[in-house]
Amino acid sequence: MKRLILASALTLCATAALSHDFKSGSLIVDHPMAFPTMATAMSGAGYFSVTNTGTEDDRLIGIRADFPRVTLHGTTNEDGVMRMFDIDAIDIPAGETVGLEPGGKHIMFMGLSGDTFEVGDEIPATLVFEKAGEIDVVFYVEPRGGASDEVDHSAHN
């Protein structure tokens, strides 16, 4: 019986972690998260989705966090080779939800130098939007779930 209670408590925690969101004005930032990084990784990626419930387009123009460099990244897939590059902004059109996800646009935390992301870590960051201004969020480091998560960030720094 004790075990059953513990199991359901864990399930509750997991559910809470999966549904955390942050709001400012007409923007809702849902579920900022990152995957664990390997010991040798110099960078780690962050993902979330943003819903713009307003009538005016907005743009994500930057992010601040406690790392040597944090950038917005785009991804291209040319003949099966994934490449990532800096982008200036991510459009968040009125009435739409934009997802930052593996294989697409994402946040790049750079300069980890041995300071790995581990499951359960929380990474505070400030997202900067052109119109909504700044939104403080927390990225949760969560276990990798499946093959679709796999974008190798270990090689770039």
Residue 85 CB, nearest distance to Cu ion (Å)?
8
> Which amino acid would we find at residue 49?
S
Q: Is 90 in the site for Cu ion (CB under 5 A)?
A: no
- Token digits of residue 62: 């930057």
- Token digits of residue 119: 């499951």
Q: Give the interface size with Cu ion as a residue count (CB under 5 A).
A: 3
Stretch of residues binding Cu ion (CB under 5 A), selected from 10-18, 66-74, 92-100, 111-119? 66-74
Query: How distant, in Å, are the alpha carbons of 43, 85, 88, 89, 149 from that of 60?
Result: 21, 16, 9, 5, 23
Residue 68 CB, nearest distance to Cu ion (Å)?
15
Is the C-alpha dihedral spanning 119, 122, 128, 133 positive or negative?
positive
Residue 108 CB, nearest distance to Cu ion (Å)?
4
Instruction: Report the residue number, 70 or 108, with the smaller CB distance to Cu ion.
Output: 108
Region of 130 (left: φ > 0; alpha: ψ -120 to 50; beta: rest) is alpha
Residue 50 CB, nearest distance to Cu ion (Å)?
18
Of the candidate residues 31, 59, 73, 105, the single one contacting Cu ion (CB under 5 A): 73
Query: How distant, in Å, are the alpha carbons of 11, 83, 151 from that of 5?
Result: 10, 46, 36
Instruction: Report the residue number, 31 or 73, with the smaller CB distance to Cu ion.
Output: 73
Of the candidate residues 50, 72, 108, 123, the single one contacting Cu ion (CB under 5 A): 108
Site for Cu ion in 25-64 (CB under 5 A): none
Q: Is 88 helix (H, G, I), strand (E, B) or coil?
A: coil
Stretch of residues binding Cu ion (CB under 5 A), selected from 34-42, 47-55, 79-87, 134-142? 79-87
Of the candidate residues 33, 72, 84, 92, the single one contacting Cu ion (CB under 5 A): 84
Q: Are 34 and 63 in contact (CB under 8 A)?
A: no
Which residues contact Cu ion (rule: CB under 5 A)? 73, 84, 108
